[in-house]
Amino acid sequence: MQKLMKHPYRIFAAYLPISRSFMIDGKKVVVVLPAYNAERTLARTYAEIPHDVVDDVILVDDASSDRTVALARQLGIRHIIVHEQNRGYGGNQKTCYAHALELGADIVVMLHPDYQYTPKLIRAMASIIADGVYPVVLGSRILGKGARKGGMPLYKYIANRVLTFIQNLLIGAKLSEYHTGYRAFRSDVLRSIRLDANSDDFIFDNEVLSQILFAGYEIAEVTCPTRYFEEASSINFWRSVRYGLGVLRVSLEHLLARIGIYVHPRYRMNQYSS
């Protein structure tokens, strides 16, 4: 198991007795919520999580300036970790996954608490993994008409399609998109890849998928409706440009590793005991 990052954070109620219900085919399902200023949308997101199939929920707050943590306590979220300093979107996820694995998760579902993705797909995504069909599942906004129908800006939709086309060519995969923030993983997948070698910024998501594909794991996609509204988190235009350049860099590094010219440290697999 990967060690927790050595950064200051506080843990609230993280050592309450762990549920042993194992609600899907004997598999423990843990939902992780990487949160930053999510006060206005957290309650709606949490209310739609299918708690009849989810064993535990972890919220990691990345030094929010609003009442995200207080609201999480009011909602009864049992595992709350607070970063004393903002560590970035990728840094938040590193803490999410480390704590989910510490809790003994068999399946980890990452869901943004900004209510942009519907939590109602958790059951389907986790079941695909629990039934042994695929080890990783993505909630895709591009399959079907969910992205534009849900209000995705046209420039973001076009950028998504162009980047995904280039990524598929360089990486050798056939995903509908690499940029969704709705993902489910079998626990051994997370243990096997080097999350610590990845960025703490938004490019973390792409680095993780690149690692997973490089390691030979198959990825399933399910159609996911999405919502774009004022409270939903989003990065601005210039950060989007920076992100796009980062996507191209990661894809080129994947290609170089795939053809054996240069293997970036992120593609060196972890060794662990199951």
For residue 87, is pLDDT > 60?
A: yes
80 touches 11 (CB < 8 A) = yes
State the first-to-last Cα distance of the chain, in angstroms, to the nearest integer: 9
Please give the structure tokens belonging to residue 246.
Answer: 């980062």
> Residue 17: what pLDDT?
45
Q: For 168-195, how does the pLDDT look when each residue is reduced to its tens digit (9 = 90+)? A: 999 999 999 999 999 999 999 999 999 9
Exposed e or buried b per residue across 260-273, where buried means at least 16 C-beta atoms within 10 angstroms of its C-beta = eeeebebbeeeeee
Q: Class for domain 9-266, per CATH?
A: alpha beta
pLDDT at 29 over 50: yes
Q: Provide mean pLDDT across the span 36-59.
A: 96
Phi-psi region of 266 (alpha: psi -120 to 50; beta: other; left: phi over 0): alpha
pLDDT score, position 234: 59
CA distance 62 to 204: 15
Residue 255 clears pLDDT 90, i.e. is over it:
yes
- Residue 1 structure tokens: 């198991």
Rg, C-alpha atoms of the chain: 18
Supply the pLDDT for residue 22: 67
Residue 4, pLDDT score = 44
Give residue limits of the domains in the chain: 9-266
